[in-house]
Amino acid sequence: MNAPPVRSLSIKSILASFLNGLASVVDFIFCIPVLGRVLKWLWNSILTLIQVILGLLENAMGYKPIKKLRFGVLILKDEEGNLLTTPDAVYAEVARTQEILAQAKVEIIPAFPPVKMLPEGGTLPESGRWIRTARNPSPGRMLDVGCDGSAMIQDLMMPGLHYQMNTIRTFFSTAFRRVFGLGAPITVFIVRDIKGKAGCSIGWLGDYVTLQHNFPLCMAHEIGHACNLLHSENPENLMYPKSCKPSTLTTWQIILLRSSRHVSYF
């Protein structure tokens, strides 16, 4: 009597793996410096435009169910293999991000696949659902980065390739979502230094944001940029550029955030 459900689940799993495999091929093309990265920007811009139009229609109809946003934090290691910070030092900002995005009826969920091997003691700490550490040391071009125009140039070159490859490897199970904009996960990279900034994002063009290792407070702010939000001159607004402590969102920001390709119904 239990055979049909098991078979159905197996077929679903096989189909998901097949679709993610095909999407990963496209993703690898998007990793190619300059040409591939420009194609990625264009593709993400098209997906974002479509999603914003749909979001405006959703708002006009007054239909605002809870949506989901997937993200995961990856703490990098320096050239000697030392972690830049600890999961516990970052986890508080995950909880704060949830509180802020709840204003837009957006629920955050971890993008990482379930852990196959539990740590000693048999339980996984809550931070482990959201935060992982890099397996290998990272090159300097991933550890020390720029922002604004410099970040865009770096995304076109080798740093962009490294960040995208790490995203593909970490979130293979969501490759289809990432390529087709159906709740594409955001990777939050904890880096060593961001020149003149505490965090950085290239907006809707990318699938990742960077945070300086000793200042994770800007997590929600940078995720906001990745989800279509621009800076605000209101000192109490989440997107105020001179501080990452504010947390409020305007009605228009809520519409844009819910219209992001990183946010979906399922």
Q: Are 55 and 255 in contact (CB under 8 A)?
A: yes
Q: Measured at the alpha carbon of residue 158, what is the angle toward residues 173 and 195, in degrees to the nearest 5?
A: 105
* Residues contacting 95, CB < 8 A, separation 6+: none
Asked if 248 and 238 count as a contact pair (C-beta separation under 8 A), the reply is yes
Tokens found for residue 230: 């621009």
All domains of the chain in start order, with CATH: 10-115+122-264 (3.40.390.10)
The whole model's pTM is what? 0.89
The residues facing 109 across adjacent strands are 70
pLDDT of residue 185: 93
Burial of 151 (0-12, 13-18, 19+ CB in 10 A): buried
The structure tokens listed for 76 are: 């990098």
121-143 core/surface letters (b: 16 or more CB in 10 A; e: else)? eeeeeebbbbbbebeeebeeebb
- 231-250 pLDDT, tens digit each: 999 999 999 999 999 999 99
Partners of 187 in beta bridges: 72, 208
Helix residue ranges, H only, 73-206: 87-101, 126-130, 140-143, 149-156, 158-170, 175-180
In Å, how far are 69, 73, 79, 139, 246 from 66, measured between CA atoms?
A: 10, 23, 42, 39, 23
Residue 171: pLDDT band with limits 50, 70, 90 = confident
Residue range 17-69, pLDDT digits in tens: 888 888 888 999 999 999 999 999 999 999 999 999 999 999 999 888 999 99
Look up tokens 């900002």; give the residue: 93
Q: What pLDDT digit, counting tens, does each position of 54-112 carry?
A: 999 999 998 889 999 999 999 999 999 999 999 999 999 999 999 999 999 999 999 98
